[in-house]
């Protein structure tokens, strides 16, 4: 396993600066256990555990998006300047756009978002009928943003993975229905991840449109501030409220302010982009009509880091169960120890689990660094946050053998026979 | 389904030029049925069918790479100039590198390949032991190359998906063994895809190293030329042979020249990069030693287009079975036709297949454009290349109902009861 561990604090200073205030718990832990490695300011190598976790998250996002009719596409990162000039965002986005020229001098930016590209793509379809709508098109790709101060590891990088969906409807009513549908799918995703996000009213910013919400994960290091009404369901990013606003605009109840990490953002765009690129369809009366659009983002790499930020202890990573890179870590006895005779049992247990619990195939890691004590490897396993750590210790030599099972999510330690281990693991959900 | 169809020839001219010689069969067909859509010169939007096929191909690549111990990582596209200056490739790669500066004036290129980045990453691990090697690290990500003449759709684009693997071994012997292992895994992949690739000796080009092979798919529009000996197993890219070489250097037998598309490329690098970045490990004698490296590429989007190029007819796309975006297309009767009563049977068949053949869940498409005749939809289905097309026509009204089943890969048309359909489909392999 290529798993660089940097367990000494002084090895994990971020490349973006040497001042301590630019780090946070998730960044520190992810660097320590080798989930990420700095490549350049705001850019990280994702190492094998992170890739596994991210692929699980992407599968969950695919499930949620496809359940509401989402279709997956994949648009280039090189985005021609003329598209951005048409929407006036070539100037508006300023220094956040990474720009370049090709060998012929043609200008591009590296897409931070794809409203222009997708609208031009849909506009190129000249014979769309209202009967074919809605379209819900999404992709999970790298995005680029030249952050003035990249920080907090994957929470605010310059190159990151995002799921961006763009929807096309035949009427404002239909578009609002689609908007609700996508918001509900986001809610369902965060529920499955066990992350308590708050959906708050938000500013439309440079994207534009007439309605917007953010999905905020409450946490102290969050860079957003949002207000929640303690009397009704109102909540909003403080950017959308007057600075003197102390009471809920809906019920006049008191507002409480919280910090959060924005993990999702939705926009009802209306015809802002469809009018620029002429994305039309033939309506029920046989007349051309502009598509009503929405756009919807989820920060894929950001969700990984944000989840680690809120779930972990100061020293140990904890994952949403479904995203743990491996569900099970098996620890055989140390070479030359009294328990060494149980080494074979661990291998057998590995085979038994793989056979009896097919969904865990490929989810079980055998920590074969048998030159280390069980205690040292248990300490590592605890840091990595495997949901189940199974040790072949002293009691593995009993008849029948008993394995020591650490259940991270319930903080229980139990001694189980092989049969009981399999019964326990057969309930593990994987994605 | 967002599936732009451009079935008129004049709608599918490539953006890169209006002259006919820049197109090829796969590009024309992929544009016609809406698998890809031009974004800018050499850059394409991948539409839903292509994303499905590509995800299947990536799953197969993951299986093959992980079967030989490959671990998946993910490196940024923004690649700092200093890495490329260290290897002298900042100059050597010339105008093929897309270059840019960030807001602080720091220079980057968009990675066309990642020897520098991965070697610097492994070099940062200061305590590697020979016992931990080999490492086989790979990623499947977008790569960028500013081609002077992008052409042939996904076959030679400026932004494309590539699987790139980098291996680190503790001795030249071990590295050569790893090299064979990866070549065999490539062979296994192409076998499973049903693509007869030829492994030929190749030039090391700008990557460098001491040994290199290309995996060439023989096809007339291929831009590479390679020679095969008719008497022994020798084959080589003609670039590696003298221009006057007519006979096999191994057995003096006659050489036959063939055109091919390079779908894979392997390099034994030795210590070319590990010496530049000081990627060391502690050898069996306790001394630091330079890692022996290899690098190995597969053109992911290129394989999709190349497979379509060699398997398709002039008018109809054909896929490697495992990569077909959907395995089954169901065609219910036309609305208002004599057979309309069989419409319900098609829905039932859909449910039956999903239940009885679980691996086909999500692989069945119901063509519900029932305003079109069966014949028109069959024509489309034929163009799209679904391995199985199942029609509820006249004989669906018989008791028991008989469905018309077109098996694309054997060119058979048979009439089958529901039970026989399920028996047939239960043998379909999916990835």
pLDDT at A207: 80
Lowest mean pLDDT of B28-37, B152-161, B204-213, B267-276, name the range: B204-213
User: The whole model's pTM is what?
Assistant: 0.96
Contact yes or no for A4/A44 (Cβ under 8 A): no
Pair (B259, B198) in one structural domain: yes
Rounded CA gap, B135 and A305, in Å?
A: 26
Q: Is there a contact between B124 and A37 if contact means CB atoms under 8 Å apart? A: yes
The pLDDT of residue B242 is above 90: no
In whole angstroms, what is the distance from residue B21 CA to residue B9 CA? 14
The reply to whether residue A103 touches residue B158, judged by beta carbons under 8 angstroms, is: no
Phi-psi map region of B302: left, alpha, beta (phi>0 left; psi -120 to 50 alpha): alpha
Rounded Cα distance, A19 and A152, in Å: 12
The token pair at A386 is 């495997």
Residue pointed to by tokens 């009993």:
A398
For residue range A366-418, what is the model confidence (pLDDT) as tens digits? 999 999 999 999 999 999 999 999 999 999 999 999 999 999 888 899 999 99
Are the C-beta atoms of residues A264 and A136 closer than 8 Å to each other?
A: no
Q: Verify that A132 and A62 share a domain, yes or no.
A: yes
Residue A92, pLDDT above cutoff 80: yes
Prediction ipTM score: 0.95
Strand segments, DSSP code E, in B129-207 are 135-144, 159-169, 198-201
Please check the confidence at residue A131 and state whether its pLDDT lies above 60. Answer: yes
Domain range spanning residue A284?
9-311
| B305-351 tens-digit pLDDT | 999 999 999 999 999 999 999 999 999 999 999 999 999 999 999 99
pLDDT recorded at residue B104? 96
Distance CA B44, CA A338 (A): 62
Instruction: Give one word for B194, left, alpha or beta, with left for phi > 0 and alpha for psi -120 to 50.
Output: left
Is B291 part of the contact surface with chain A (CB cutoff 8 Å)?
A: no
B2 within a domain of the structure (yes/no):
no
Query: Does residue B126 surpass a pLDDT of 90?
Result: no
Q: How many CB pairs under 8 A join A and B?
A: 131
Instruction: Kindly state whether A114 is in contact with chain B, defined as any CB-CB distance less than 8 angstroms.
Output: no
> Of A311, A345, A370, which residue sits at a domain end?
A311
Cβ–Cβ contact B125 with A under 8 A: yes
Question: Domain of B371: which CATH number?
Answer: 3.40.50.800
Give the SS3 label for residue B28.
Answer: helix
Are A268 and A146 within one domain?
yes
Domain boundary among B278, B311, B344: B311
CB contacts of A39 in chain B (<8 Å) are: 75-76, 78, 80, 117, 121
- Mean predicted lDDT score pLDDT of chain B: 93
Q: Which one of A311, A344, A362 terminates a domain?
A: A311
pLDDT-derived band at A287 (thresholds 50, 70, 90) equals: very high
State the CATH number of the domain containing residue A211.
3.30.930.10
- Whether B41 and B17 have beta carbons less than 8 Å apart is answered as no
pLDDT at position A246 is 81
The Cα of A235 is separated from the nearest Cα of chain B by a number of Å equal to 35
State the Cα–Cα distance between residues B148 and B153, nearest whole angstrom.
Answer: 14
Tell me which residue of B325, B322, B317 sits closest to B383, measured CA to CA: B317
C-alpha A231/C-alpha A262 separation (Å) is 23
d(CA A212, CA B110): 33
- Are A17 and A143 contacting, i.e. CB atoms less than 8 angstroms apart? no
Token code pair at residue A78? 């090189």
Query: Measuring CA to CA, which residue among A307, A418, A279 is closest to residue A50?
Result: A307
Over residues B385-400, the mean pLDDT reads 96
Does residue B114 sit in the same domain as residue B203?
yes
CB < 8 Å from A in window 48-67 of B = 48, 50-52, 54
Give pLDDT, residue B20: 46
Pair B227, B256 in one domain: yes
Number of domains in chain B: 2
- Treating both helix axes as pointing N-terminal to C-terminal, what angle do A300-311 and A25-32 enclose, rounded to 10 degrees? 100
Tell me, yes or no, whether B341 and B295 share the same domain.
no
- Say if residue B42 is in the same domain as residue B81: yes
């Amino acid at each position: 396993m290529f798993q660089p561990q940097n367990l000494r604090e002084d090895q994990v200073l971020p490349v973006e600066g040497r001042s301590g205030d630019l780090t946070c718990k998730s960044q520190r832990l992810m660097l320590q256990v080798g989930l990420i490695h700095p490549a350049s300011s705001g850019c990280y190598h994702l190492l094998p555990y992170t890739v596994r976790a991210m692929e699980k998250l992407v599968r969950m996002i695919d499930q949620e998006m496809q359940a509401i009719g989402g279709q997956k596409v994949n648009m280039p990162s090189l985005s021609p300047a003329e598209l951005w000039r048409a929407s006036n965002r070539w100037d508006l986005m300023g220094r956040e756009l990474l720009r370049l020229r090709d060998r012929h001098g043609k200008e591009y930016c590296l897409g931070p978002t794809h409203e222009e590209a997708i609208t031009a793509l849909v506009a190129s379809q000249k014979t769309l009928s209202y009967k074919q709508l809605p379209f819900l098109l999404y992709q999970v790709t790298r995005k680029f943003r030249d952050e003035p101060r990249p920080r907090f590891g994957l929470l605010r990088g310059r190159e990151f993975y995002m799921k961006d969906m763009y929807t096309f409807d035949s009427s404002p009513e239909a578009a609002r229905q689609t908007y609700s549908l996508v918001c509900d799918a986001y809610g369902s995703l965060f529920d499955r991840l066990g992350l308590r996000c708050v959906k708050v009213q938000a500013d439309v910013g440079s994207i534009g449109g007439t309605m917007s919400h953010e999905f905020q994960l409450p946490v102290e290091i969050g860079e957003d501030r949002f207000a929640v009404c303690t009397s009704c369901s109102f909540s909003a990013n403080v950017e959308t409220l007057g600075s003197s606003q102390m009471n809920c605009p809906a019920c006049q109840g008191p507002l409480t302010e919280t910090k959060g990490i924005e993990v999702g953002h939705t926009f009802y765009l209306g015809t802002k982009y469809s009018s620029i690129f002429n994305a039309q369809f033939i309506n029920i009366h046989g007349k051309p009509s502009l598509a009503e659009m929405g756009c919807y983002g989820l920060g894929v790499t950001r969700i990984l880091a944000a989840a680690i930020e809120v779930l972990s202890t100061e020293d140990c990573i904890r994952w949403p169960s479904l995203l743990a890179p491996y569900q099970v870590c098996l620890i055989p006895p140390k070479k030359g120890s009294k328990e060494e005779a149980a080494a074979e049992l661990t291998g057998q247990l590995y085979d038994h689990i793989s056979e009896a619990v097919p969904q865990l195939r490929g989810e079980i890691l055998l920590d074969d660094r048998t030159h280390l004590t069980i205690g040292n490897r248990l300490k590592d396993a605890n840091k990595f946050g495997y949901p189940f750590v199974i040790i072949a210790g002293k009691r593995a030599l009993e008849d029948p053998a008993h394995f020591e099972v650490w259940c991270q999510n319930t903080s229980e330690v139990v001694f189980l026979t092989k049969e009981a281990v399999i019964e326990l693991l057969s309930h593990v959900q994987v994605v």
